[in-house]
Amino acid sequence: MPDAGVAHLHDRLNYLDSRISELRSVILTKDSYVERRNREDLYIRREFETQRTISERIDVGVTILKTELNQIRNSVSSLNGDTAFLRNDVARLQKNVQQLQVDTAFLRNDVTRLQKNVQQIQVELEALRSEVGGCRTEIKQLHTTVQQLHTAVNQSERVRFNSLATTVHAPINAVPKIDQDGTLRYPEYFPRTVWRFWCLKKRSRIHRLVELAEFYEVEGYEYWGRDHHVDVPWDDDDDDSSDYSDRPNNLTRAEAAYQYPEACHQALAATLGLNYHKIRKAVGESPNSRIAAPKRPAEDVISNPHVSARPKPVKLARRLGDVSPTMLQKLVYGVPSVASKSVSSELEDKLVWREHGREGSEISDEALSKLKGLSSDIGSILRAIERGKLYVKSEQMHVSPTESRPRADIKGESRDASPMAVEEEARSTHTVSTEIISPTGSLPDTASMLS
């Protein structure tokens, strides 16, 4: 049998098999029919129950709708009355709207004017802002100027204070350097006294001088070579290679300070406000002399452990008998001047040193007791003189010029005088006035005591 016939037969058999399967599924049995009928009845019952529920809901909705329709009817009747009122209100609103339109026109005009005014105010505010910015800038500049002025005044005060320092141990203030931003800058090292500043010229301190010259930016160092023969006090050799010239040298400030320390020292003194010539006079140094160390105070010598301090002798108060008449006269009157040596007053009382061999006393007991009191008060009198509470009252003011005689005439007369006059003249050389000092405190007046 050919293959095409076999394939056709096979397809036909498959079709018949599928049809048989369909018929088997279509054909119902009794049990399946009953079961299917029950399922359909149950489904129908459920549908009826659903429809009944829907109908009840529809009835309830219709009832509610009727109630709402009645309410709507009542509302519509009330709305008719409200509509009449609303019409009246709308009429009034129309009138008000018309008035508002008129007012709006006026407001528009006012707003236009306000816009113009606001624009003008904005222009003025911009101008004011620019002016305020300029004022702020000026205030900042003024504040900066005031700070610079305050700094300059502070610097000038320090310079003025330094200009008054003319003694060796006088203190000097460090003068600050003003930077470009106005800040003050002080040097790391600064001499605190005139002597320390003067010692900057020493060879061992020359680096400090160079540091200060560089810090203060001392100017004019290009022309320090003019008087270089004066600037180096320790250089005793003659240098014929360097001649006087007005042309500036090519040295730096440090090199010029090392080579010409005297000129650098003078320029630094001028920068700090120091009076160089007065300080040189106080130090007692010539321009070419070497620097000598100042006299050290006694307490510095004692406090220095490397220096052997000698024990000071104890000072004892002198008794009146140990004081020479010349010393007593110096204590009472002070050192007499040349003009007062030839002046003598006959109005003042005199104390005469008695010669040996004479006994007895011509002084009253009251004057003697006052003289004894004077010896006990000599310490307080000396302390009062040192403190300035006592002053020396010169008797030359009360002496007439006709009463004074030249000492040469006195000596000439003494040569021709009698032995008694010579003895009186010898005794008058040891004469001390009893009117010593006019006290300002509570010390006794010896002139009134002995008069």
pTM: 0.36
- Asked if 274 and 367 sit in the same domain, the reply is no
Domain contains 38: yes
Task: Tell me what pLDDT residue 388 has.
Answer: 64
Task: Tell me what pLDDT residue 392 has.
Answer: 53
Domain boundary among 42, 74, 106: 74
- Asked if 336 and 254 sit in the same domain, the reply is no
Residue 156 identity (one-letter amino acid): S
- Asked if 257 and 331 sit in the same domain, the reply is no
> What helix, strand, coil percent values describe the chain, rounded to 5?
65, 5, 30
Domain contains 102: no
Radius of gyration for the chain, computed over Cα atoms and rounded to the nearest angstrom: 65
Q: What is the pLDDT of residues 341-351, one digit of tens each?
A: 333 334 444 44
Alpha-carbon span 383 to 19, nearest angstrom: 160
- Asked if 263 and 326 sit in the same domain, the reply is no
Instruction: State how many domains the chain has.
Output: 3
Task: Tell me what pLDDT residue 52 has.
Answer: 92
**Degrees, nearest 5: CA angle 433-352-394:** 15
Domain contains 46: yes
- Asked if 217 and 270 sit in the same domain, the reply is yes
Task: Tell me what pLDDT residue 389 has.
Answer: 60
Task: Tell me what pLDDT residue 431 has.
Answer: 39
Domain boundary among 44, 74, 104: 74
Domain contains 410: yes
Domain contains 8: no
CA distances (Å), origin 361, targets 224, 356, 365, 367: 78, 13, 9, 11
- Asked if 326 and 298 sit in the same domain, the reply is no
Domain contains 429: yes
Task: Tell me what pLDDT residue 337 has.
Answer: 42
Task: Tell me what pLDDT residue 434 has.
Answer: 36
Query: What are the helix (H) ranges across 164-193?
Result: none
Query: What are the helix (H) ranges across 355-406?
Result: 365-376, 378-387
Query: Which domain does 229 fall in, by range?
Result: 177-235+247-303
- Asked if 289 and 327 sit in the same domain, the reply is no
Domain contains 152: no
Task: Tell me what pLDDT residue 394 has.
Answer: 47
pLDDT tens per residue across all 451 residues of the chain? 457 888 888 888 888 888 888 877 777 678 878 888 898 899 999 999 999 999 999 999 999 999 999 999 998 888 888 888 888 988 998 999 999 899 999 999 999 999 999 999 999 999 999 999 999 999 998 888 888 888 888 888 888 888 888 888 889 888 888 887 777 888 888 889 989 989 888 888 889 988 888 898 888 888 887 755 444 444 444 444 444 445 566 788 888 888 888 888 888 888 888 888 888 888 876 444 555 555 554 444 444 444 444 544 544 444 444 445 555 455 545 444 433 333 333 444 444 545 554 555 555 666 666 666 665 666 677 666 766 666 555 444 444 443 444 444 444 444 444 444 444 444 444 433 333 333 334 444 433 333 3
- Asked if 298 and 333 sit in the same domain, the reply is no
Residue 252 identity (one-letter amino acid): T
Task: Tell me what pLDDT residue 146 has.
Answer: 86
- Asked if 257 and 293 sit in the same domain, the reply is yes
- Asked if 395 and 426 sit in the same domain, the reply is yes
Task: Tell me what pLDDT residue 281 has.
Answer: 87
- Asked if 377 and 424 sit in the same domain, the reply is yes
- Asked if 228 and 336 sit in the same domain, the reply is no
Q: What is the pLDDT of residues 418-432, one digit of tens each?
A: 444 444 444 444 433
Domain contains 126: no
